[in-house]
């Protein structure tokens, strides 16, 4: 055991010692001591304790001077804050170490070097404050870190800079905002063996979805090289999401998202004594591939889940974690280099649902740009562009920034915290949702959109804009002020219903958020939305674009499919991720996925579609749905859909997915579809697979008993059933006045279907909008004994209350 009050090995440190070694070092020591047995690797090193920091301050007689400078400081006065911070940092940096501290640090550094068979090994020097990485305050990036530090003198210089960084402007402001006493917050420094991620990969991972607070996801961001460019927001990282509960089964591979980032630069070791690190371009071929392969994604996700489990057991309350990781490019080993409790959703009241309602058609006409949403709020104000904090580049000085303005810049970092807290919203060119600036904005509750690419060029000073993060992962910037209504609902106060209410979910990006709304599962997932928005290419164009001879098309497809093994691999995985994300959000409740139901004119609009689609006079009742699946012209494309479903159910373990066949005209056609599915490995009843029929044709109703022999349930598609029962085109405005699902003929069709299905003990649900729009229609369905009702998320709460009232009235 080391007897020095100034230095401790990381193996001697644990969470009970935050007062002595700070939150970051305490967590590293805790993991080294307790998670090594679970094969989780953390680089070794030592800690320069708070006692050493205090000795340094005392040796240079700085305490009284620092306290005087900080006394009564108004952190909203940017100029005063800047001058005060600079003065304190200069005092600390000009100090000298006590001689015994110099000797101890030098001896311990060379001891660490010999442990790794180096004469002067490369180390990371990280600040670790006593009020940092706490469950209720992250202080993300408030103090300094130095990478690739070598030699005793270089280490001493870095330690002194870390000491001074306790008084960075951002740290002073953050402490004041959080009510921490400046004098009570002290600093320790961690000296940790570097992982050679300059030759490999590094990044950040959360054991919770950072935007929605969905607790069953591990979200991983990664890029090539050292991690500073990622956490500073200089690049847009790759993103991977894994469904956490299914990691317990080693046979499963529950990856439910892979998104390619823009990784055009990386940070590597410098090549001169004064250049610790430098920024270099990434080879284009490397940039167009995912930085982690799937085995690495799964291993990292398991480690993150293990770390969360350990901290949860340790603290006795759920403790989602924020983890920094690195892959050594020499040894190919994965390491955890930091771990801290997540500080936003772990502190939030999850029983309150906040919804924003605004005119989507009106707002769409005012859309300026999109980016990555941080948070879920909406902000409005005048644009104020800043490129630096002191006007060195000719932009307006930060002191001129007015409360309530929208901060628009290339990228913020934690130094910008004093400005960020004054902004109504933030929009940046660069960054990802796990960079330091995003973490700080999220913690402050400020809506931010990062990674727009060109916001600082497109938006001009004094433009009035609305910044919306209320649409899932995609943040949107609108011209002018978009009027919206904010509705808060206490989920504990909602009534229950006897009739299960399900949800129609279109966007995988919104699934985690929607899953918080009381529900009985998902009654309709349309594959068309995922194909249109996430794949964007006609499936046959993916498979056969080289046969077409269109070089422009082939180049576009080559670009879109970057990072995947083949065009078919791209389609299968992207579709599986979209479906899997929704299935994971609602697991273990049923999620009914309808196979693709594009009409030929809609398929034509997909990239390459013109080469594979016929011209039809009336595509609404033409070659759509089931008729495509077994046809020679489309069968191969349908096979990709089947393989995606198989991947979700069997590889990711999300066996709550039910498949649904749309627009199936006859029982014989249903049998052909089932045979085609089976040829691609999807067999009804195998591994619990259920098959539903979209009941939307009069023939589905009239022949319900025959269809029942081949399916496990019906889901009424009231839109098509209404148009085909009444003989009108629902896309035509000329006959729109006749369209009404409450027409007696349509209701008769529904009544007959429910009766026939019940006689065969087959369930019937409905996934149209009618029950939420018309209470009398909902009453009719309940009276007839409908098994489930599925509506859009924005109608869910209204329908829940209406159905509950109807059921009470019926039972009274």
- CA dist 539 and 624 (Å) reads 15
SS3 240: strand
Burial of 741 (C-beta count, 10 Å sphere; 0-12/13-18/19+): buried
CA distance 447 to 470: 9
Residue 742 DSSP class:
T
Cis peptide bond upstream of 588, omega within 30: yes
Give catalytic status of residue 469 as yes or no: no
In sequence order, which residues have a C-beta less than 8 Å from that of residue 650 and are 6 or more positions away?
687
Q: What ranges make up the beta strands (E) of 85-184? A: 123-129, 145-149
The stretches of 346-403 forming alpha helices (DSSP H) are: 360-364
Give the Cα separation of 643 and 649 in Å (integer). Answer: 10
Contacts with 619 (C-beta within 8 Å, 6 or more apart), sequence order = 599, 600, 601, 602
Q: What CA–CA distance (Å, rounded) separates 766 from 715?
A: 5
Residue among 182, 384, 436, 538 flagged as catalytic: 436
On whether the CB atoms of residues 738 and 728 are closer than 8 A, the answer is yes
| The Cα angle at residue 72 between residues 70 and 78, in degrees rounded to 5 | 75
User: From CA 237, how far away is CA 574, in angstroms rounded?
Assistant: 18
CA–CA separation, 531 and 54 (whole Å): 60
Residue 266: enclosing H or E segment and its boundaries?
Answer: strand 265-272
Please say if 293 is a catalytic residue: no
Tokens of 691: 């098959």
Token pair of 509 as six digits:
């990006």
Residue 362 CB neighbour total at 10 angstroms:
11
| CB-count exposure of residue 733 (10 Å: 0-12, 13-18, 19+) | exposed
Number of Cβ within a 10 Å radius of residue 299:
16
Q: Residue 766, SS3?
A: strand
- How far apart are alpha carbons 42 and 121 in whole angstroms? 17
**Contact 204/324 with Cβ under 8 angstroms?**
yes
Nearest-5° Cα angle at 253, 249 to 257:
135
Question: Positive or negative CA dihedral for 456, 461, 463, 467?
Answer: positive
Q: What are the phi and psi torsion angles at 377 (to 5°)? A: -100, -175
Residues 6 or more apart whose Cβ sits within 8 Å of residue 755: none
Q: What are 27's two structure tokens?
A: 């967590």
H-run or E-run covering 557: helix 551-560
Residues annotated as catalytic are 436, 767
């Amino acid at each position: 055991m080391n007897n020095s009050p100034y230095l401790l090995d990381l193996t001697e440190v644990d969470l009970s010692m935050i007062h002595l070694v700070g939150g970051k070092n305490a967590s590293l020591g805790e993991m080294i001591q307790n998670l090594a047995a679970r094969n989780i690797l953390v680089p070794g090193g030592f800690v320069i304790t708070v006692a050493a920091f205090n000795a340094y301050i005392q040796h240079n007689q700085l305490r009284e001077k620092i306290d005087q400078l900080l006394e009564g400081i108004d952190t909203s006065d940017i100029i005063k804050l800047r001058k005060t911070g600079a003065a304190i940092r200069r005092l600390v940096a000009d100090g000298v170490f006590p001689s015994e501290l110099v000797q101890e640090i030098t001896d311990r550094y060379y001891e660490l070097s010999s442990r790794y068979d180096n004469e002067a090994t490369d180390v990371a020097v990280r600040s670790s404050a006593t009020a940092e990485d706490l469950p209720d305050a992250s202080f993300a990036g408030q103090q300094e870190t130095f990478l690739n530090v070598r030699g005793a003198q270089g280490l001493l210089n870095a330690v002194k800079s870390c000491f001074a960084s306790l008084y960075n402007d951002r740290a002073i402001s953050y402490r004041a905002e959080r009510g921490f006493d400046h004098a009570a917050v002290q600093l320790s420094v961690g000296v940790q063996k570097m992982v050679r991620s300059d030759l490999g990969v590094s990044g950040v991972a959360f054991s919770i979805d950072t935007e929605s607070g969905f607790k069953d996801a591990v979200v991983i961001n990664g890029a090539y090289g050292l991690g500073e460019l990622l956490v500073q927001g200089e690049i847009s990282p790759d993103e991977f999401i894994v469904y956490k509960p299914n990691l317990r089964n080693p046979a499963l591979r529950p990856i439910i998202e892979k998104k390619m980032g823009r990784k055009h630069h990386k940070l590597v070791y410098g090549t001169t004594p004064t250049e610790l690190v430098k920024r270099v371009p990434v080879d284009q071929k490397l940039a167009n591939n995912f930085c982690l392969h799937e085995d690495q994604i799964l291993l990292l996700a398991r480690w993150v889940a293990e770390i969360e489990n350990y901290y949860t057991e340790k603290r006795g309350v759920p403790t989602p974690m924020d983890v920094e990781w690195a892959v050594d490019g020499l040894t190919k080993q994965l390491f955890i280099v930091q771990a801290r409790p997540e500080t936003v959703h772990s502190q939030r009241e999850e029983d309150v649902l906040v919804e924003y309602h605004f005119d989507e058609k009106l707002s769409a006409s005012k859309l300026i740009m999109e980016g990555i949403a941080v948070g879920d709020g909406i902000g409005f104000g005048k644009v104020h562009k800043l490129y630096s904090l002191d006007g060195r580049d000719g932009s307006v000085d930060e002191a001129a920034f007015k409360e309530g303005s929208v901060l628009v810049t290339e990228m913020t970092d934690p130094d910008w915290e004093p400005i960020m807290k004054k902004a109504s919203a933030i929009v940046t060119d660069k960054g990802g949702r796990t960079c330091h600036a995003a973490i700080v904005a999220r913690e402050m509750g400020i809506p931010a959109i990062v990674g727009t690419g060109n916001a600082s060029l497109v938006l001009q000073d004094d433009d009035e804009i609305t910044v919306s993060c209320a649409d899932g992962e995609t943040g949107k910037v609108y011209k002018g002020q978009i009027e919206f209504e904010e509705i808060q609902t206490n989920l504990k106060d909602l009534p229950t219903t006897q009739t299960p209410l399900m949800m129609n979910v279109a966007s995988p990006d919104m699934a985690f958020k929607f899953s918080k709304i009381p529900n009985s599962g998902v009654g309709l997932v349309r594959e068309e939305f995922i194909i249109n928005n996430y794949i964007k290419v006609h499936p046959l164009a993916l498979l056969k674009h080289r046969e077409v001879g269109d070089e422009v098309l082939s180049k576009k497809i080559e670009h879109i499919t970057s990072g995947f093994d083949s065009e078919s691999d791209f389609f299968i995985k992207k579709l599986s991720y979209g479906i899997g994300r929704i299935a994971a959000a609602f697991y273990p409740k049923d999620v009914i996925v309808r196979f693709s139901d594009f009409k030929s004119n809609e398929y034509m609009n997909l990239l390459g579609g013109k080469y594979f689609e016929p011209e039809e006079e009336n595509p609404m009742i033409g070659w759509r749905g089931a008729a495509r699946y077994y046809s020679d012209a489309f069968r191969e494309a349908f096979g990709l859909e089947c393989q995606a479903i198989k991947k979700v159910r069997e590889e990711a373990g999300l066996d709550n997915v039910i498949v649904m066949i749309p627009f199936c005209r006859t029982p014989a056609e249903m049998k052909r579809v089932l045979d085609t599915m089976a040829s691609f490995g999807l067999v009804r009843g195998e591994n619990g697979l259920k098959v539903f029929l979209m009941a939307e044709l009069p023939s589905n109703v009239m022949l319900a008993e025959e269809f029942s022999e081949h399916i496990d349930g019906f889901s009424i598609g009231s839109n098509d059933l209404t148009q085909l029962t009444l003989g009108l085109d629902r896309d035509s405005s000329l006959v729109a006045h006749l369209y009404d699902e409450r027409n007696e003929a349509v209701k008769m069709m529904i009544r007959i279907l429910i009766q026939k299905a019940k006689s065969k003990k087959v369930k019937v649900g409905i996934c149209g909008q009618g029950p939420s729009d018309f209470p009398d229609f909902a009453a009719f369905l309940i009276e007839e004994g409908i098994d489930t009702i599925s509506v859009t998320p924005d109608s869910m709460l209204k329908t829940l209350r209406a159905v509950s009232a109807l059921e009470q009235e019926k039972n009274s």
